[in-house]
Amino acid sequence: MILQMSPFISGPTLLSSYRLNPLLFSKRQRCMKLPHWHFNRTKQRFFAVAAAENNKDTLPKTFDFTSEERIYNWWESQGYFKPNFERGSDPFVISMPPPNVTGSLHMGHAMFVTLEDIMVRYHRMKGRPTLWLPGTDHAGIATQLVVEKMLAAEGIKRVELSRDEFTKRVWEWKEKYGGTITSQIKRLGASCDWTRERFTLDEQLSRAVVEAFIRLHEKGLIYQGSYMVNWSPNLQTAVSDLEVEYSEEPGTLYYIKYRVAGRSDFLTIATTRPETLFGDVALAVNPQDEHYSQFIGMMAIVPMTYGRHVPIISDKYVDKEFGTGVLKISPGHDHNDYLLARKLGLPILNVMNKDGTLNEVAGLFRGLDRFEARKKLWSDLEETGLAVKKEPHTLRVPRSQRGGEVIEPLVSKQWFVTMEPLAEKALHAVEKGELTIMPERFEKIYNHWLSNIKDWCISRQLWWGHRIPVWYIVGKEEEYIVARNADEALEKAHQKYGKNVEIYQDPDVLDTWFSSALWPFSTLGWPDVSADDFKKFYPTTMLETGHDILFFWVARMVMMGIEFTGSVPFSHVYLHGLIRDSQGRKMSKTLGNVIDPIDTIKEFGADALRFTISLGTAGQDLSLSIERLTANKAFTNKLWNAGKFILQNLPSQNDISRWEILLAYKFDEEECLCKAPLPECWVVSKLHMLIDTVTASYDKYFFGDVGRETYDFFWSDFADWYIEASKARLYRSEYDSDAIIAQAVLLYIFENILKLLHPFMPFVTEELWQSLRKRKEALIVSPWPQTSLPRHMSAIKRFENLQSLVILI
């Protein structure tokens, strides 16, 4: 079939005497099988002609993923990652969420690195000075655990070392292994300013932590007291509410009889933790429960305690429907019982040691592990006839996010921050529009949490971290001094207690999240507000992180930023979802569905991985599969092949006159576009529309839309249609006007596609950009395409008619 298309095209026919398979023009090309012999014959004949005519070197067959590190090192060596104020004065600043220094790259890291790098590369090309400030977190609990395991392999226990010896070993470990996560982040293409890399235990950041503690204490917002906390027996430290994960697990409900003192009656209670009965201070019933109203005001005898009496009280807090309707009150080991005891003025009795064994209050059960004590106690209760029954019951078990062990509610002396006045200011920041949270639905969650916030336990019983800047007076431990260092503390002690006074520092360290809450401004020089970086880059622009740490980190940064600097630390918060497997399951080693980012990069390339995980929607989880990665690796190859085709059909680099003619075409001008033949006018018009759409999506942080729209234009409009349409023109004499304009359009479209895709796929786009002739600068710092360029809607409509005709044929 010979298809003449002159009615639709100015100038000679599109394919004047060339055998054409209409499917080459079809959007269905990628999913329909072409006759293999025909396609190969076409491709071979064309490239043979092109190579013979141009006699130029071509790109390698495929993009070599191993060149990614070479490209990255070149970018860094040229200083492209540093903020450049030559093209603009309004900086775009992101503080990287500091990954744990113990960590190795997982898909959650890959997600935030990709999204943040997309933002940074886009704004860099837009001409804004960009600063993406990287760093790592000292990760108190996680790092101490890692080093303790390393010591255990050497036959050493932490307690066998002094504190200084242990921390020295941790620093040695950090210097040897702490850079792993940083080098892996670089493999993803993160264009951070590594000259400004920070670590939460750096001298400057440590000074900021001490300053923050002192200022909060001076305002009366930090206090010390004995309160119910979440205690980790294995780690021997308190952990915050946010570091406790609850899981539904099969358990047992135990029914136990308590004798009413002076009577033959028994009250039966139901409990999931019988070992805590040694800490019972009361039995409680609902005042509306007629079954037990006669016993209110009497005393009950706690089993296995040699006759210890506790009052029988009434409170509407008691659920009549749970168990028997009688509740044992153990305020030393249950959060709700603790609140009830404080309300009613009941005593608090602790029956547990810090290592999870029972203490002397448990009598004969002293020294037994809590779970061993449970078994023995039930056995003894059965022997004495006080055990009624036990039955299966689904428990909501609190487990440590770090170690996975069952958390023990325990009353302990700790340091706390009063959060309510800080939370109030953070709530107003969103109300007044000073802070925008994306997606918007998370504003409600943010507001709800801050409106119901509890005081924050900030002390941890660890050796690795920021030591609490408090010193006690020997012999007067109830009194303490808050100071910036030991010398200042001693001077204050001398002034108040005399020259012979002795002091010692609080052994606890601060919660890791305390230092992380200062991250956006401590990394820029605070408390020195005259620091150059603080003046230039604070407040920052964007905070991008996973929605699962909205409370852990984001809200606390907002509160601390307002408190210490007077302004919100960033104007926008972008929350991404979690990455799940192809079946929508959370990735875990147990399920065996973990996809390793570094292995993925080796097989598919960093660009394919980045493009795949960037196509999600803000705040929503993304399913990742090998099929998607394979498809986007094919997209990388398609882009590469298009580049090869264009390079083969551009003038020789030495042909200056032809390049002058080629570069004289200004398709961003109305007059030039008007004179272009229909296929060229159509594709340039579509490109100009794409630039507007994509730029708007970038500005709204709709990265999924950017990726899909650019992908569709490149694959459907440019590769499937225009490149095929251009081939007939390129066969003509190299000085033919239609051949030259086709070359000019191919170059113009392709270099703009590379710009639009660069934030997503930086490596392959930079390599292709550098392969094009007449490149004046690196793609990473080249100007973003202009918007509102001319487009011809009539040309678009006419070419769409042509497309419909070809598809019908």
DSSP state at residue 158: G
CA 197/CA 194 separation, integer angstroms: 5
- When pLDDT is averaged across residues 47-62 and rounded to a whole number, the result is 52
Number of helices and strands (H, E) in the chain? 27, 25
Q: Compute the half-sphere exposure of residue 701: CA atoms within 13 Å on the CB side of its CA.
A: 22
- When pLDDT is averaged across residues 349-368 and rounded to a whole number, the result is 95
Contact 442/448 with Cβ under 8 angstroms? no
Residue type at position 291: H
Considering the chain, tell me which residue range(s) the CATH 3.40.50.620 domain(s) occupy: 72-198+512-610
pLDDT at 10: 34
CA 85/CA 91 separation, integer angstroms: 8
Q: Per-residue pLDDT for 302 more than 70?
A: yes
Q: Per-residue pLDDT for 52 more than 90?
A: no
pLDDT at 43: 36
Q: Per-residue pLDDT for 565 more than 70?
A: yes
pLDDT at 590: 63
pLDDT at 269: 96
Q: Could you identify the residue written with the tokens 């601390």?
A: 560
Q: Per-residue pLDDT for 735 more than 90?
A: no
| Dihedral sign (CA 664, 668, 669, 671) | positive
- Of the candidates 680, 688, 700, 721, which has an alpha carbon nearest to the alpha carbon of residue 807? 721
Q: Taking the C-alpha atoms of 143, 155, 354 and 486 in order, what is their torsion angle to the nearest 10 degrees?
A: -60
Residue type at position 750: F
CA 464/CA 157 separation, integer angstroms: 15
Q: Per-residue pLDDT for 746 more than 90?
A: yes
Q: Please, what is the Cα angle at 630 between 624 and 635, to 5 degrees?
A: 110
Contact 596/683 with Cβ under 8 angstroms? no
Q: Phi and psi for 332 in degrees, rounded to 5?
A: -80, -5
- When pLDDT is averaged across residues 273-283 and rounded to a whole number, the result is 97
pLDDT at 655: 84
Q: Could you identify the residue written with the tokens 């910036």?
A: 484
pLDDT at 585: 83
Tokens of 90: 């309004």
Identify the H or E element spanning 255.
strand 244-260
Contact 513/549 with Cβ under 8 angstroms? no
Tokens of 142: 């996680």
Tokens of 569: 């630390």
The pLDDT-based confidence of 47 (bands split at 50, 70, 90) is very low
CATH architecture entry for 626-808:
Orthogonal Bundle (1.10)
Residue type at position 737: S
Can you give the three-state secondary structure of 410-442, one letter per residue? Answer: EEEEEEEECCHHHHHHHHHHHHCCCCEEECCCH
The pLDDT-based confidence of 734 (bands split at 50, 70, 90) is low
List 249's β-bridge partners, or say none: 395
Non-local (6+) Cβ contacts of 178 within 8 A are: 101, 102, 136, 199
Contact 158/166 with Cβ under 8 angstroms? yes
Q: Per-residue pLDDT for 589 more than 80?
A: no
CA 576/CA 562 separation, integer angstroms: 24
CA 48/CA 54 separation, integer angstroms: 10
pLDDT at 461: 94
Q: What is the pLDDT of residues 183-214, one digit of tens each?
A: 999 999 999 999 999 999 999 999 999 999 99
Of the candidate ranges 3-12, 404-413, 772-781, the one whose mean pLDDT is the lowest = 3-12
Q: Compute the half-sphere exposure of residue 237: CA atoms within 13 Å on the CB side of its CA.
A: 30
Angle between helices 606-613 and 626-648 (to 10 degrees): 120
pLDDT at 446: 96
Considering the chain, tell me which residue range(s) the CATH 3.90.740.10 domain(s) occupy: 237-409
Residue type at position 783: P
Q: How far is CA 797 from CA 710, 748, 806, 809, in A?
A: 20, 22, 14, 19
- Of the candidates 102, 370, 359, 388, which has an alpha carbon nearest to the alpha carbon of residue 259? 388
Q: Are strands 387-400 and 244-260 parallel, antiparallel or unpaired?
A: antiparallel
Q: Per-residue pLDDT for 56 more than 80?
A: no
CA 575/CA 545 separation, integer angstroms: 5
- When pLDDT is averaged across residues 671-691 and rounded to a whole number, the result is 94
Q: What is the pLDDT of residues 475-510, one digit of tens each?
A: 887 899 999 999 999 999 999 999 999 999 999 999
What is the widest separation between alpha-carbon atoms in the chain?
A: 115
pLDDT at 77: 96
Average pLDDT over the chain, rounded to whole? 89
CA 611/CA 703 separation, integer angstroms: 10
pLDDT at 25: 36
CA 96/CA 520 separation, integer angstroms: 9
Q: Taking the C-alpha atoms of 729, 732, 733 and 735 in order, what is their torsion angle to the nearest 10 degrees?
A: -20
pLDDT at 122: 98
First to last CA, the chain: 11
Q: Compute the half-sphere exposure of residue 546: CA atoms within 13 Å on the CB side of its CA.
A: 17
Q: What is the pLDDT of residues 704-713, one digit of tens each?
A: 999 999 999 9
Q: Per-residue pLDDT for 51 more than 60?
A: no
Q: Are strands 299-301 and 282-285 parallel, antiparallel or unpaired?
A: unpaired
CA 802/CA 326 separation, integer angstroms: 82
Angle between helices 737-757 and 678-699 (to 10 degrees): 10
Considering the chain, tell me which residue range(s) the CATH 1.10.730.10 domain(s) occupy: 626-808
Q: How far is CA 586 from CA 249, 550, 578, 595, in A?
A: 18, 19, 8, 11
Identify the H or E element spanning 393.
strand 387-400
How far is Cα of residue 299 from the mean position of the Cα atoms in its chain?
Answer: 54
The full length of the chain comes to 809
Q: What is the pLDDT of residues 377-422, one digit of tens each?
A: 999 999 999 999 999 999 999 998 877 899 999 999 999 999 999 9
Enumerate the H helices of 530-594 as residue ranges.
Answer: 532-537, 556-565
- When pLDDT is averaged across residues 151-179 and rounded to a whole number, the result is 92
DSSP state at residue 267: E
The pLDDT-based confidence of 20 (bands split at 50, 70, 90) is very low
Q: Per-residue pLDDT for 50 more than 70?
A: no
**Best CATH choice for the domain 72-198+512-610 from the list 3.40.50.2000, 3.40.50.620, 3.30.360.10, 3.40.50.720:** 3.40.50.620
- When pLDDT is averaged across residues 745-750 and rounded to a whole number, the result is 96
The model's pTM: 0.86
The pLDDT-based confidence of 733 (bands split at 50, 70, 90) is low
The pLDDT-based confidence of 6 (bands split at 50, 70, 90) is very low
CA 78/CA 777 separation, integer angstroms: 11
**What would the CATH number be for the domain defined by 237-409?**
3.90.740.10
Residue type at position 323: G
